[in-house]
Structure 1
Amino acid sequence: MARKQTTIATQFITTATGDRLAVVPEAEYQRMIEALEDRADAEAVRMFNQRLADGKEELIPAEFANRIINGESQIRVWREFRAMPARELAEKAGISAGFLWQIEKGERDGSFETIKKIAAALAISMDDLG
C-alpha cells in the first residue's frame, strides 16, 4: 500500500551544538503523537491475538469478569468458569474441600504455595488470582 505524501509547513533550526531541529505546527505534532499511539495500540492487539491463537491467552465472558470486578472470590469465579466442582479443584490442588470453601468465602487465607497449587489446578497464572 502506497503512503500518501503530506506537505507540512516545517521550519528547520540548527542549534549552537549542531543539532538540527524540525519545527512543525502544533496540530501536526498532535496528529503525529496520535498516529504513534494508534500504532502502539495496533501492535498490542496484534500481540494479544497471537498469544490467543497460541493458547497463551484466554477470553472469559463478561458475566465472569464482572463477578471478579464486583469483588467475588476470584478462585470461585474461575472454578465455576471452568465448570469444576469444588471437590475436584480441592483434590487437584491437594487441599481439603473444606479449606477451599473457607478460602473462597474469605474466611481463611491460603499460603502462597496453596494459592499457587489452586492456580495450577485451574490452569491460570497467579496474576489471574491477584
Structure 2
Amino acid sequence: MKPKIVTIKGKPHLVIISYKEYLDLLEAAIKPTQLQMPRPKHKLQTQRVLVRENCDTPEEVQRRLDKGESPVKAWRLYRDLTQTELANLASVSNSTISLIENGVRCGTTETLEAIADALNVPTDMLGLPRG
C-alpha cells in the first residue's frame, strides 16, 4: 500500500489510497451498510466516510437549513471548518466560499462537487443531483 498523506497546517488530515486498496480495506473492515457519518470531535478531525449513498442530514445541519442558511455553510459549520479551511480543502478561493454561502453566487457544478467532496457529503446535500 502506498498511501499519500495530506497535511493541513503541518498536521495529517487525509490519506489518499488507490481505489483497489480502498475496496480491499472496505471488504476487510465492515459492510458498507454498517457505516455511519460521525460528527467530528474537534476542528479538522473530519473522518472520511467510505460510502456516502445513505447519508442522512444530521439534526444540527437540518436546523441551520430550516433557518435559511446555505447548505455549504450548514455543512461547513457542522464539520467545524472555517471558510479558509474549506476553501483550501476544495481548492477554491475564500471569496468563492463566502459568495456561495451568502447566496450571491450559486457556484459551478465543478466547484460545488469539489466543496461536497471536501465536506464529505453527497452532491445532492448541496443542491446538485447525484451522479
- Range into which the TM-score falls when normalised by the shorter chain: 0.5 to 0.7
Structure 1 residue 53 corresponds to structure 2 residue 34:
yes
Query: Whole-Å Cα distance in 1 between the matches of residues 94 and 113 of structure 2?
Result: 16
Structure 1 residue 95 corresponds to structure 2 residue 76:
no
Query: Whole-Å Cα distance in 2 between the matches of residues 61 and 84 of structure 1?
Result: 16
Correspondence for 1:45? none
Q: Aligned letter for 2:124?
A: D
* Structure number with higher relative contact order (C-alpha < 8 Å, ≥ 6 residues apart): 2
Alignment CA distance shift 1:62-1:100 (3 Å): same
Q: Is the 8 A contact 1:52 1:58 kept in 2?
A: no
TM-score (normalizing by structure 2): 0.54
Correspondence for 1:64? 61
Q: 1:69 Cα shift?
A: 2.6
Structure 1 residue 128 corresponds to structure 2 residue 109:
no
Q: 1:110 Cα shift?
A: 0.6
SS at match of 1:68: helix
Unaligned stretches of 5+ in structure 2?
1-30, 37-50
Q: Is the 8 A contact 2:73 2:101 kept in 1?
A: yes
Alignment deviations for residues 56-98 of structure 1 (CA, whole Å, 9 cap, x no partner): 4455542321211332110000000001111011011111101
Q: Aligned letter for 1:53?
A: Q
Aligned match for 1:109, one of 97, 103, 106: 106
CA RMSD after TM alignment: 2.0
Correspondence for 2:83? 86
Q: Is the 8 A contact 1:102 1:108 kept in 2?
A: yes
Query: Whole-Å Cα distance in 1 between the matches of residues 112 and 57 of structure 2?
Result: 20
Query: Whole-Å Cα distance in 2 between the matches of residues 71 and 84 of structure 1?
Result: 19
Query: Whole-Å Cα distance in 2 between the matches of residues 53 and 122 of structure 1?
Result: 21
Unaligned stretches of 5+ in structure 1?
1-49
